[in-house]
Amino acid sequence: MPRAKPINLAGRDFISDLDFSIAETEAVLNLAARLKKEYRAGKPHPLLRDKTLAMLFFFTSTRTRGSFEAGMAQLGGHAAFIDSDTTQIAHGDTAKEIGQIFGRYFNAIAIRQCDWGFGNRYINEVAQHSPVPVLNMQCDVYHPFQILADLLTIREYKGKNLKGRKIAVSWAYAASYQKPISVPQSLIIQLTRFGMDVVLAHPPEYKLMPEIVQQAEEGARLGGGSFRITHDMDDAFEDADVVYPKSWGSLLTTSDLKESAEIGKKYTSWICDERRMTLAKKDAIYMHCLPADRGLEVTDAVIDGPQSVVYEQAENRLHVQKAVMVMTMGDKATQAKIRAKPRRIARK
């Protein structure tokens, strides 16, 4: 029987959740779990020594910036935080210039650009002109690193075989701002590939992109799971292993943010509270990518309760991002190291 070809992601972009095959995603998750174990044991792993990452932000961040900066430092490299307002982008630097110039300064370019109808197109245009990997830190369509962290978290609590596990991906009310639809979209196309029974719940005005829904349906067919849409939050929570209620804007209904906010006021009852958690399985976990609008999206009793895994989920951003950076930015020697069987780590 022929040996499986080693996974090699060197030089690859990671912009869409589907850029990596299931086998490649599994390899990333396995490396992330290994790096997490080493990190917690205090074992250094400077696998990207002297490598540099450009982090271009058009939107503010807490977890994304912190985890990428810390991750690159732990890998022995350096991450440069670049606020788009401090660049010459507003004065004429195009996506081509960013790709060509940053691609000559840095070993990879990570971008967060969530403007509706523009962000994903911009990141792909940078990638078209960049000689180094381009990583999507979130756009208007996808949030692939968040969902890798979510997958790692679910596997930690529910096991690696996720077939038949039910997850409720639900809209929830929030008043802070009209959040991107990228998290629920990435969730439904990634988790269906791993055989989960995915139920997407949202009010009629909060639909997702039709092509993303089609990809989720196809992922369920190929992955052996299921996918359906409901407009009833309780229905989605019923007998779920994982609940993931969060807000997003009604961007496919209206691009007017004030109008979208007014629509949301009709659905203030869409909150994850103690009653709804009783609809899910007793050992169900509550997840949220954060920040959450407490008292609107979720009650304090739930997000601070025993079923909440939000902080483990947030930590896992660090580990999956390190894994992707190592696998896309590492040289041949680095690739050989990560394929080698890891030595057993003694418990401290």
- Give residue-wise pLDDT tens across range 205-232: 999 999 999 999 999 999 999 999 999 9
Topology adopted by domain 17-142+318-339: Rossmann fold (3.40.50)
User: Which CATH superfamily groups domain 145-311?
Assistant: Aspartate/ornithine carbamoyltransferase (3.40.50.1370)
Q: In what order do the strands lie in the sheet with 242-246?
A: 226-230, 197-201, 166-171, 242-246, 285-286
User: Domain extents for the chain?
Assistant: 17-142+318-339, 145-311
Q: In the prediction, which pLDDT does 309 show?
A: 98
Host H or E run for residue 262: helix 257-264
Distance CA 24, CA 188 (A): 18
C-alpha to C-alpha distance for 198 and 215, rounded to whole angstroms:
13
Q: Which two tokens stand for residue 122?
A: 């911009």
In terms of C-beta density within 10 A (0-12 exposed, 13-18 middle, 19 or more buried), how is residue 346 classed?
Answer: exposed
pLDDT of residue 337: 83
In this predicted structure, the answer to whether residue 1 has a pLDDT above a threshold of 60 is no
Q: Please state the φ and ψ torsions of residue 83, each to the nearest 5 degrees.
A: -80, 130
Distance of alpha carbon 174 from alpha carbon 54, whole angstroms: 32
> Has residue 27 got a pLDDT over 50?
yes
Do 17-142+318-339 and 145-311 fold alike per CATH? yes
Sign of the alpha-carbon dihedral angle for 102, 105, 110, 112? negative
Burial (CB count within 10 angstroms: exposed 0-12, middle 13-18, buried 19+), residue 23: exposed
> What pLDDT was estimated at residue 335?
85
For residue 348, what pLDDT is reported?
Answer: 44
